[in-house]
Amino acid sequence: MAPQPKYQRRKEDRPQEIADAAFSEFAKKGYSATRIDDVARRAGVSKGLTYLYYKTKEDLFKAVVRNVVVRRVDALLDDVETTNLSSEDFIRGPLLDFMKRVPGSPIAIVIRLLIAEGRRHPDLVDYYYDNVVARGLDAIRRFVERGVERGEFKPEARQLQPQLFLAPMMLSMIWRLVFADKPLETDRLMEDQIDLLLTRIKA
Amino acid sequence: MAPQPKYQRRKEDRPQEIADAAFSEFAKKGYSATRIDDVARRAGVSKGLTYLYYKTKEDLFKAVVRNVVVRRVDALLDDVETTNLSSEDFIRGPLLDFMKRVPGSPIAIVIRLLIAEGRRHPDLVDYYYDNVVARGLDAIRRFVERGVERGEFKPEARQLQPQLFLAPMMLSMIWRLVFADKPLETDRLMEDQIDLLLTRIKA
DNA sequence: ATAATTACTGACCCAACAGTCAGCAATATT
DNA sequence: AATATTGCTGACTGTTGGGTCAGTAATTAT
């Protein structure tokens, strides 16, 4: 009786829905262990449709990474730029908070995918470097520079490699990805590092 | 004419040779992209023989990881224990040298494999944790403790998480695995970190 | 209403690859 | 030299999963 339609046509939303489903599957099982069938089922869609919007599995993978990256990074970096706190307050406040959130965020998943699959997708690695790493490092450099100009940091602060700020964040990320159940006070790790650095560079 | 034998029987050496070949292939292409055929060819052996010594591909994978781990870690940790240098000289000398070597060593490859495949091999992760991570962290803790007892380090040094020593090494490793071609002075990164830590804990 | 359009389905194809095994050839034994 | 043993080969099988496409049903246009 009821003319229940078997499906609705939703051309606009499908690509995003499929990409979201793919992200979940990739996150759970990694790239090669993920079957397009699983992605399609999770997106509530047939396998064929996936191939209508993404030519190959690799295309889908790239779309997923780019997707997650652009949706996250912009907002977070803007935050870092538009602050009127003192350098120390900012670094101990918003910046530290941001760093603490990263290891549990989708960014960590993307990093795992890049570590695992990066060699076979060099253009993806470049994309990630340009849009996340380079921009992040630059933000830190500008932040330090501003601190020096304001007289809050010693001039030698300029010599520090920005990666020194991020190292414990990185370790925490990997730790959680690999040893999910082993204890580690990742927050304190990052706090201590910031402390070490501030002690060194504060004017 | 020449009774060239098609092969020699070398029961003793085969397992190791196959494991070595497998390590090279896993390192180059990752676990799932590696075909047993390739491993066999690299080891100069037929595919069937691989299955004689290793029941499944997963078995082979586990053997490879365990193999690399045991062969490397023992020697390196012994070195850390049996020193009669002062704490500062030791940390700036042999320990730093060790850390600088890790990102380019097979250990880095194993880490990548664990990051990529770890979730599907929890027993392997545990093995790695017990035999590498836990032992490494313990060595650092004992080293710090000894420094405190000798009066070379402040007692507060005990509060530092050992991971703080390793964070830049970790970042350098990941950096090289993912962004092989992008420049980063990884050695200086580790030196600076040691410097920060020593300044903080030296008595 | 009817026809034209197209988002979507799902059965199908086929290459790739983990795993098997009957037989062979290199040693060891007699 | 003949026989027994077993390390090793390579052709084979079965399955998995990426990718295709002819057809169908939901819209849109007329």
SS3 A153: strand
Whether the pLDDT of residue A1 is over 70: the answer is no
Q: pLDDT tens-digit profile of A11-48?
A: 999 999 999 999 999 999 999 999 999 999 999 999 99
pTM: 0.92
- Phi first, then psi: what are they for A153, rounded to 5°? -120, 150
Asked whether residue B175's C-beta has any atom of DNA/RNA strand C within 7 A, the reply is: no
Best A57, A111, A192, A198 member to test B by mutation, with max B CBs in 10 Å, is A192
- Is the backbone of residue B2 left (phi > 0), alpha (psi -120 to 50) or beta? beta
Chosen from A28, A102, A114, A115 to mutate, greatest number of chain B CBs within 10 A: A115
Measured CA A9 to C1' C6 distance, in angstroms:
10
Comparing CA positions, the residue from B48, B39, B47, B33 lying closest to residue B17 is B39
Q: Kindly give the parts of chain B with pLDDT less than 50.
A: 1-2
Inter-residue contact A157 to A91 (CB < 8 Å): no
**Interatomic separation, CA of residue A9 and C1' of nucleotide D26, rounded (Å):** 7
Residue A2 has pLDDT above 50, yes or no: no
Residue that is written with structure tokens 């089922």 in the block: A41
Specify the pLDDT at position B78.
76
The distance of B114 to chain A (nearest Cα, Å) reads 7
Whether A45 sits with its Cβ under 7 A from any strand C atom: the answer reads yes
